[in-house]
């Protein structure tokens, strides 16, 4: 397929590279051009604007930081929507609000373009290694048409539904499952540290019980009280739980644990942890126990 990849942070660069490896034609765009140029020797063409990148694409994939970046890059002048042909698809892989996903659905429909939300689970290394879990949603025919894209970037694809925003809801709930596991591990180890128990002992027992790489990874950071290198910054974790709570509000569904997580992220922000890994939210439970 003829594809555009817009937004070349660590995630987006991984996507672009795997799409190139998969034999697709890829035009790339990034605000800071050097990251685009780095992909030229792997076969990418560099565009000067999102609109230009999207011009001849069957599908334009965006992988951007937040709602604000997506709105500017897609709906701004020289944005991807301005360049995309009628009948072509915008695939948004970014973690954005369900509200923006609904707006994008409408904006693209008004331009006779298609729109899919296709957020991904996985860290930058997973993006690089083609090990993402992809959760697309949108009209069945469009999802099917884009399957080669999902195959090229991930190890598994799960279709969330016929409305694009449903995929964003799934992504936000998935991040909540991780965030709440972090929070709970933090609460448990705070109690155990006050009981004189080494958190590493607890981690070993939990690894034997849960056998989950997610718990092994974050539990390890918490047991070590070591939150660098940063895989996912705490301020982004807070952004995601905010978006989740907005979605839950739209659905009139209370999520009390999500509220606890949000409150602890806020405390962590107040204490200056915004750029530490989001697992450092565990320090709040420790602090609340006087540690």
197: three-class secondary structure by DSSP: coil
Asked if residue 187 binds its own copies (CB under 8 A), the reply is: yes
Which H or E element spans position 177? helix 164-194
- Exposure string over 37-66, b if 16+ CB within 10 A, otherwise e: ebbeeeebbbbebbbbbbbbbbbbbbbbbb
Is residue 70 within 8 Å of 31, Cβ to Cβ? no
Q: How many CB atoms lie within 10 A of CB 140?
A: 11
Is residue 94 within 8 Å of 11, Cβ to Cβ? no
Asked if residue 48 binds its own copies (CB under 8 A), the reply is: no
CA-based max dimension of the chain = 64
Among 10, 140, 156, 275, binds its own copies (CB under 8 A): 156
The CB-of-101 to its own copies minimum distance in angstroms stands at 11
* In the chain, beta strands by DSSP E: 2-6, 25-29, 45-46, 59-62, 89-92, 114-117, 120-121, 132-134, 154-157
The CB-of-247 to its own copies minimum distance in angstroms stands at 7
Among 197, 226, 228, 275, binds its own copies (CB under 8 A): 197
Among 140, 205, 224, 228, binds its own copies (CB under 8 A): 205
Among 174, 220, 230, 236, binds its own copies (CB under 8 A): 174
The residues in 97-136 that bind its own copies, with binding defined as CB under 8 A, are 98, 121, 133, 135
Which is nearer to its own copies, 10 or 200 (by Cβ)? 200
Which is nearer to its own copies, 35 or 283 (by Cβ)? 283
Which is nearer to its own copies, 92 or 168 (by Cβ)? 168
Which is nearer to its own copies, 40 or 270 (by Cβ)? 270
Which is nearer to its own copies, 82 or 266 (by Cβ)? 266
Task: Please spell the DSSP secondary structure of 75-140, one letter per residue.
Answer: ISTT-HHHHSPTT-EEEE-S---HHHHHHHHHHHHHTT-EEEE--EES-HHHHHTT-EEE--BS-H
The residues in 52-81 that bind its own copies, with binding defined as CB under 8 A, are none
> Is 130 a known active-site residue?
no
The residues in 241-280 that bind its own copies, with binding defined as CB under 8 A, are 242, 244, 247-249, 251-260, 262-264, 266-267, 269-272
Asked if residue 146 binds its own copies (CB under 8 A), the reply is: no
Asked if residue 282 binds its own copies (CB under 8 A), the reply is: no
Asked if residue 233 binds its own copies (CB under 8 A), the reply is: no
Residue among 35, 130, 171, 239 flagged as catalytic: 171
Is residue 5 within 8 Å of 63, Cβ to Cβ? yes
Write out the catalytic residue numbers: 171
């Amino acid at each position: 397929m003829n594809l555009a990849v817009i937004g070349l942070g660590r995630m987006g660069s991984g996507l672009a590279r795997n799409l190139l490896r998969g034999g697709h034609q890829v035009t790339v765009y990034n605000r800071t051009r050097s990251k685009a140029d780095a992909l030229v020797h792997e076969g990418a063409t560099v565009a000067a604007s999102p609109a230009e990148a999207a011009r001849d694409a069957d599908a334009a994939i965006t992988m951007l930081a937040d709602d604000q970046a997506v709105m500017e890059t897609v709906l701004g002048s020289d944005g991807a929507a301005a360049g995309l042909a009628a009948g072509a698809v915008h695939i948004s892989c970014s973690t954005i609000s369900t509200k923006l996903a609904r707006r994008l659905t409408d904006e693209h429909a008004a331009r006779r373009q298609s729109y899919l939300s296709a957020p991904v689970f996985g860290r930058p290394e997973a993006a690089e290694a083609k090990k993402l879990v992809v959760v697309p949603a949108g009209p069945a025919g469009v999802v099917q048409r884009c399957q080669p894209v999902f195959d090229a970037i991930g190890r598994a694809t799960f279709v969330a539904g016929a409305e694009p925003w449903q995929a964003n809801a799934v992504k936000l709930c998935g991040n909540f499952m991780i965030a709440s596991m972090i929070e709970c591990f933090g609460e448990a180890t705070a109690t155990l540290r006050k009981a004189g128990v080494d958190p590493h002992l607890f981690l070993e027992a939990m690894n034997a019980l849960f056998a989950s790489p997610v718990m092994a990874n974050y539990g390890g950071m918490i047991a070590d009280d070591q939150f660098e290198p940063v895989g996912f910054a705490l301020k982004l974790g807070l952004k995601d739980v905010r978006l989740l709570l907005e979605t839950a509000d739209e659905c009139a569904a209370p999520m009390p644990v999500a509220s606890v997580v949000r409150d602890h992220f806020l405390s962590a922000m107040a204490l200056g942890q915004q750029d530490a890994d989001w697992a450092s939210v565990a320090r709040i439970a420790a602090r609340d126990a006087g540690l």
